[in-house]
Every structure is written in C-alpha cells, then in structure tokens.
Amino acid sequence: MKTKRDEGRNEPILEPDLPIVDSHIHLFDLPHNRYMLDDYLADAQGGHNVLAAIYCETQTFARKGGPEWMRPLGEVEFANGVAAMTATGRYGKCVVGAGIIGHANLTFGSKIGELLDRCMAAAPDRYRGVRHVTLDYPDERPFQFIMTYRPPAGVLETPGFPLGLAELQKRNLSFDAAIYDPSLPRLTELVDRFADLTFVLNHIGNFVGVDMTKEERGEQFRKLSANLKQIAKRPNVVCKVGGLGMPTLGFGFEKRQDVIGYEELAEAWRPHVELAIDAFGTGRCLIESNFPPDGRSSGFIPTMNALKHILRALSVDEKLDVFARNAARVYRLDIPGL
C-alpha cells in the first residue's frame, strides 16, 4: 500500500498541547505492506500530543489453526503485548492499544460468546469490543481500494449476526461498525434491537464518492446526511470522525505528487466533519487518525492539523471531549489528566 506518511512532518503543529486519544489505528505486517509499532510511534509522536491509541482489528495476527470463530484471539493477544510494552513509558507517552477492538465473525452467532470470554481473559484491562467489517456496495467502485480482501455481501442480514451482537451486549462490550454509507438504514434497524449495546460508527459512515460526477456526489452526500442524522437519534451510537483520507471518498489526494497540507485537506473534509458534529454533537464524536489507511492522502501531522483546523471554533471543553475524553469514556480508559 503506497502512502504519503512521510509528508508534512515539518508542518507546524496546531494546538500542540491539546490531548488526543486516537480512537482508531491499525498495525499489520504483510508482504509489501507493513505498519507496526515503530511506524505508528514515529507518526503519533511527531508533534501532536497523542496520549493513547485504540487498536482496531485487521485480522493480520489471527491464529492460523483451531475453530474459525476462535482465531481472532491471536490478534488480541498480540495487541495486548504491544499495549503492555508501551504502557511502560519506555517508548514515549503514547500507550498504543490502551483499548483493543478485536475481530469477531458475528455470523457464527452465539458461538462467539466463547471467543469474547477468552479475549476478555487474555486482555482484561484493555479488551473493549469487536469489529466485524461489513462493507457492502451495489457495484465495484469502492472495492478497488480494499487492502486485503473484499468482505462477503449481505452479512448484516445473516441470521447469526444479531445473535452475535447479543453476546456483545451481555458482556458490556461495544460494536465497531464498518459499513459503506448505503448500509446506514440497515445498521439503524439493528441498533433499534440492541438499545443497551454501544455502536461505534467508523469513519462518519464511510461515504463512497469515487468515480462520480459533482452532481452524483452531491446527491449521495445528501443521502448520507439524512441517514446519519437518523442513526444519530439513537443515544447508544457514537461516531468516529476521520477515515477521510481513504481513496473511496473520491477526493483524489492519493493521486497527487505534491505535498498536501492541512488547509487543503480541511477544505475538502469540512462538510463531513461538520455533518458528524451536527448530527452527534460534541459529546458523541471521537477523533481518529485511521492510520495508516488515511496516510494514502497525507501525513499524520497534516491529518490531525486538518481536523483541529476544522474544529478550531469549538470551546476548550468541547475540543477535549472530541479529541480525547469521548474516546476514553466509550472505551473505558483511565488516562491521567483527562
């Protein structure tokens, strides 16, 4: 995966003292596609005040044997080891994996309870929930950018999926929802069935705007806006604000050869960020870097600068909520000073 991670490292840091809990990062080690602890620390500790990061599954470190529904345990064990290393302070102040979101194939239904119990036992201080990627779209446009594999279609409609969600709800674990924007109404139906389960919507609903005319993008954004405001009426849904650097949005930054600074990113991303704040309020929005996927558009420093620039009019308390305290609350993190 070609990225622009090294770009913008010399850009001045906006609000360098603002605490950040990065609510969504990935680590993986694949052929020609590596992003591990040293890479993230180089990004996160380049000037922004990142205190902690939430590890989100990629299945890269899943076990290779045993029952299929139990294999994600391996990744949780890996992430907990990373978190234990960084919690010592020897690698800087950022605790990577302070909260862990593992994978679970919820189509296995109630069987998933066994996996959840093992994961909770393996990382009792950090395991907070699961993500099951359910990216579904009526045509091929967004899937040209999938890093590893295309998820199967129709996962949200499988009989086992709500049974798996029920196992999460029983254990006070959360569900990170990775969908494309047309699936928002279906996700809303599931939210209504599980009022006591926290749903964490990834990437402001994952808008698909690639290979569209200006008019088509406008119409799709209006649909996103309406659907996002509907799901936001449910108080058990929170929203991760980020994911805007992925090519699926259609901004085209990944195709550019020049260095892209925070002001240009902010200009493109502003409608999506403001939509999230308008729909969910500052009490239910969580800033995310989504690195390294968002690194396909720009470096970590411009990415965070852009989000700070867009939200610069918020009060000090509102910024603390959006950039740090909400993530700490949702994922039940004890971070001194927040």
How confident is the model at residue 147, as a pLDDT? 66
Residues 148-198: tens digit of each pLDDT = 778 889 999 999 999 999 999 999 999 999 999 999 999 999 999 999 999
For helices 112-122 and 73-87, the axis angle rounded to 10 degrees is 20
Q: Is the separation of the CB atoms in 143 and 188 below 8 Å?
A: no
Q: Tell me the average pLDDT across 98-106.
A: 98
- Paired tokens of 80: 């907990």
Distances in Å between the Cα of 285 and the Cα atoms of 47, 178, 288, 323 are: 23, 16, 10, 8
How confident is the model at residue 31, as a pLDDT? 87
Residues 51-91: tens digit of each pLDDT = 999 999 999 999 999 999 999 999 999 999 999 999 999 99
How confident is the model at residue 176, as a pLDDT? 98
Residues 143-153: tens digit of each pLDDT = 888 767 788 89
How confident is the model at residue 1, as a pLDDT? 62
For helices 160-170 and 112-122, the axis angle rounded to 10 degrees is 30
How confident is the model at residue 82, as a pLDDT? 98
Q: Where do we find the tokens 């390294």?
A: 292
Instruction: Measure the CA dihedral 135/141/142/148, to 10°.
Output: 90
How confident is the model at residue 5, as a pLDDT? 86
How far apart are the C-alpha atoms of 114 and 140, rounded to whole Å? 35
Over the chain, what HEC string results?
A: CCCCCCCCCCCCCCCCCCEEEEEEECCEEECCEEECHHHHHHHHCCCCEEEEEEEECCCCCCCCCCCHHHCCHHHHHHHHHHHHHHHCCCCCCCEEEEEEEEECCHHHHHHHHHHHHHHHHHCCCCEEEEEEECCCCCCCHHHHHCCCCCCCCCHHHCCHHHHHHHHHHHCCCEEEEECCHHHHHHHHHHHHHCCCCCEEEHHHHCCCCCCCCHHHHHHHHHHHHHHHHHHCCCCCEEEEECCCCCHHHCCCHHHCCCCCCHHHHHHHHHHHHHHHHHHHCCCCEEECCCECHHHHCCCHHHHHHHHHHHCCCCCHHHHHHHHHHHHHHHCCCCCCCC
Residues 277-297: tens digit of each pLDDT = 999 999 999 999 999 999 999
269 pLDDT higher than 70 = yes
Q: Tell me the average pLDDT across 231-260.
A: 96
Say yes or no: domain 19-330 is CATH 3.20.20.140. yes
Sketch the domain layout of the chain as residue ranges.
19-330
How confident is the model at residue 326, as a pLDDT? 98
Residues 298-319: tens digit of each pLDDT = 999 999 999 999 999 999 999 9
Residues 6+ apart with CB under 8 A from 143: 135, 137, 150
Residue-averaged pLDDT of the chain: 96
